[in-house]
Amino acid sequence: MQSAYNYKEFAILYVDDEEQSLKYFKKAFDSEFRIFTATNVRSGLKTLEEHRDDIGILMTDERMPGEKGVHLLGQARQLCPRVLRILATAFSDFDAAIQAVNSGAIYKYISKPWNVGELEIALRQGLEFFMVQRERDRLLKEKLSVLHNMMITDRLLSLGILAAGLSHHIRNSLVAVRTFMDLAPSKLQEENVRLDDLRNPQFWREFYDQVQAQIHRITAMLADLGGASDKSALSFLDKVSLSEVLASVLAKLKGKFDEKQIVVENQIPTSLPP
């Protein structure tokens, strides 16, 4: 029966100071798994760092010159916490295995000399566990991403509803302002007041025009806010003409450019496909 797992998708890193042990390990399992080997803690950490996305299991001997296998597993836990850590130890090193288990530094320990069949089963189970954990993390990340997007969408819709409510109240207030501004010229005539008779008629004309312009500006802004609260108004274009977009932006900013005597040319060809 064919396995549902690809056991060569992720590699096994085996660290042992005995070259012969590394040779036999690779010979026994190279056909079933991807194998990396290292002869000491420093070399093992370097290999783990270089291939951190490829390695699923780190297996190390306990007794090595210099730093012990437990130290390697402890550092590997900090470097790549998702990688499964296996300690290979003789019965004389049983205390070290217990210490490693209690500290949470290893997934399991293997007694030396190992049985090839039993070790193969343990490595298969370890890789399966690693891949299941990896898939679980991926699905959880996707779920959190979807939840995050839903929260953002809900917040945007809430802001849109709030904007629509504010728009309604501001529009009602603007009615009185606009009515006053529209009636002001005729009411002044009824009172026999002519702008030209005032001490600074130009000021009143410019101020009147500015107020009217601001009323139109606020009305346009309210229309945009109202559109933001309408789900049906939310649309995304598959294609955009860069020339048209730039021309629209330049038209809106023309007044500011003219004030600062800035000349901007739209050199995007209209024939450029969207």
**pLDDT tens across 19-74, in order?**
999 999 999 999 999 999 999 999 999 999 999 899 999 999 888 888 888 888 88
Let me know: does 37 contact 11? Beta carbons within 8 Å: no
Let me know: does 270 contact 243? Beta carbons within 8 Å: yes
Residue 113 CB burial class (10 angstroms; 0-12, 13-18, ≥19): exposed
**Cis before 273? omega within 30:** no
Of the candidates 81, 68, 85, the residue with the CA atom closest to the CA atom of residue 16: 68
Tell me the two tokens of residue 94.
């049983």
222 Cβ partners below 8 Å, 6+ apart?
167, 170, 171
Residue 131 CB burial class (10 angstroms; 0-12, 13-18, ≥19): middle
Of the candidates 65, 64, 71, 95, the residue with the CA atom closest to the CA atom of residue 85: 71
CA angle 99, 103, 107 (to 5 degrees): 90
The pTM of the full predicted model, rounded to 2 decimals, is 0.54
Let me know: does 60 contact 88? Beta carbons within 8 Å: yes
Instruction: Tell me the three state secondary structure of residue 186.
Output: helix
Per-residue pLDDT of the chain (274 residues; tens, 9 = 90+): 456 789 999 999 999 999 999 999 999 999 999 999 999 999 999 999 999 899 999 999 888 888 888 888 888 988 898 999 998 887 556 666 666 665 556 788 888 888 899 999 999 999 999 999 888 888 888 888 878 878 887 777 777 777 777 777 788 778 888 888 888 888 777 777 777 777 787 888 888 888 888 888 888 887 777 665 555 544 555 677 777 877 888 887 777 778 778 888 877 777 777 6
